[in-house]
Amino acid sequence: MDSTHSSFENRLKDNACKTEALLTRLLADDNLNDEIVRPDKLLSAMRHGVLNGGKRLRPFLVMESAALLGGNAEAALRVGAALECVHCYSLVHDDLPAMDDDDLRRGQPTVHIAFDYATAILAGDSLLTYAFDIIAAPETELPADRKMALVLALSRAAGIGGMAGGQALDLAAEKETPDENGITTLQAMKTGALIRFACEAGAIIAGASAEDRKRLRTFGEKIGLAFQLADDLLDLTADAATMGKATGKDAGRGKGTLVALHGQEWAETTLAKLVTEAAGLLSAYGRNADILMETARFVANRKS
């Protein structure tokens, strides 16, 4: 194992611990200013949906992208926690019977199984709203224009033209399989949009140039596609124990994926190509981008 890979693994674990600790504090019992009360059951459901492990890849991308460009590390940690709230909200809602209908998430019962359907819906709603609270709060020490840019970018990534819209397209794909362009579009929205934001957010936090912001955004798009391709491969080849959730569901529902369309060999070749393209985007930063490049390799080659 080379030193860069070892450093990457250590930083990924360290960031996951920091993110988990911050999320634990953010989801504490104490009310914030102007909150009236935090209902116990709802708060417990939110914790169940968020404080359940995971690699915390999206917050890690925020932290490392910000670090690459000299951004405020504490602000990046808070923005990463906000992004994780949006991601976890999407998982809570995706797992509902009306959506992907899953009983298992990260090796434990999903929120609607552990609590009930209504509480799961409200937990997701609350996590989505809380994300913007975290970014806007005084504790996130960034200039107002950068906070506004983050709120706008996250809104676009999470909403009708991003993740939520991608989920709608994904549900529609169960009835009518889209063509290759349609599959690519829905995956770029459902999965890729938040990963793209995670990388672009680092540039926003750092107050970087438009060129840096565009480069990091495009890097995020590449690894977002790689993440989904790897996920589709795992859905085809891994078991539920390894993944901590049900596998083989896309094929069972007749959902079209790029892996189903082109095959495993094509997917593996494409993943390698995406990693090469990602490396090209970061070449201007030299060795300073080593950790982000290792992240791209990790995303493409992950086993769970």
- 116, two tokens: 């009930």
Task: Determine the pLDDT at residue 164.
Answer: 97
Q: How far is CA 134 from the centre of its chain?
A: 17
Q: What's the whole-model pTM score?
A: 0.92
| Residue 243 pLDDT | 46
State pLDDT tens for residues 167-207. 999 999 888 889 999 999 999 999 999 999 999 999 999 99
What is the per-residue pLDDT for 242? Answer: 54
**Residue range 90-107: mean pLDDT, rounded:** 93
Question: pLDDT > 90: what percent of the chain?
Answer: 79
**pLDDT tens digits along 109-160:** 999 999 999 999 999 999 999 999 999 999 999 999 999 999 999 999 999 9
**Helix ranges (DSSP H) in the chain:** 3-26, 40-50, 57-68, 73-94, 111-114, 117-136, 144-158, 163-172, 180-187, 193-206, 210-237, 240-243, 249-253, 258-262, 264-282, 290-301
pLDDT band at 6 (very low <50, low <70, confident <90, very high): confident
Instruction: List the end-to-end C-alpha distance of the chain, in Å, as a whole number.
Output: 20
* Per-residue pLDDT tens over the stretch 223-259: 999 999 998 888 877 555 554 555 555 555 556 788 9
Q: What is the mean pLDDT of the chain?
A: 92
So what's the pLDDT on residue 7? 87
According to the model, what pLDDT value does residue 111 have?
A: 97
Pick the residue with more confidence: 4 or 77? 77
- pLDDT tens string 13-65: 999 999 999 999 999 999 999 999 999 999 999 999 999 888 999 999 999 99
Give all strands (DSSP E) within the chain, no chain letters: 104-105, 108-109
Q: Taking residues 274-301, report their average pLDDT.
A: 93
Single out the residue of 33, 44, 119, 135 nearest to residue 86, CA to CA. 135
The pLDDT assigned to 240 comes to: 53
pLDDT value, residue 154? 98
Q: Are residues 85 and 78 in contact, defined by beta-carbon separation less than 8 angstroms?
A: no
